[in-house]
Amino acid sequence: MQEIIIKNLMAQLDLERDAIKPESRFVEDFSMDSLDMVEMLIDLEKETGIKVPVEEVGDIHTVGELIKHLEGKQA
């Protein structure tokens, strides 16, 4: 899951791999807004089949939290 998320973020935000860490914060470190978050989740849903409803976006602040959230849904 971590690998999928990192690859998606690299493509979406044009980031280097080293810039993406579990503790990276979407808003503060990547300057992502709510639509960027939705865009990321649409991409991840396409790839993993795991849907994250819009109302759950507010609970996810870091890359690590996203990995945990998706792994929790996958289980």
Partner 1 sequence: MLANVTIAGVASSIPEKVVTNTELESLVETSDEWITKRTGIRTRHVAVGETAVGMAADSAAKALAMSGVLRESVGLIVACTITGEDLTPSMASSVQKALGIQNCAAFDVSAGCTGFIYALVAAASLMETLGAEAAIVVASEAMSRFTDWNDRSTCVLFGDGAGAVVLRRSETARVLYPILSATPDTNDVIVLRKDSRSTPFSPARNTATEYIRMKGADVFTYAVGVLEDTLKRLSAFCADKPFTKVIPHQANEKIIDYVMRTMNMGRDAFFLNIASYANTSSATIPIALCDAWEAGWLRQGDRVALAGFGSGLTSGGVVIDWDLPDKP
Q: Which residues bind partner 1 (CB under 8 A)?
A: 11-12, 33-39, 42, 54, 57
Shorter beta-carbon distance to partner 1: residue 21 or 59: 59
Q: At what angle do helices 63-74 and 2-13 cross, to 10 degrees?
A: 130
CA distance 37 to 27: 9
Shorter beta-carbon distance to partner 1: residue 22 or 61: 61
CB of 34 to partner 1, least distance (A): 6
The C-alpha angle with vertex 39 and arms to 37 and 42, in degrees rounded to 5, equals 110
CB of 59 to partner 1, least distance (A): 14
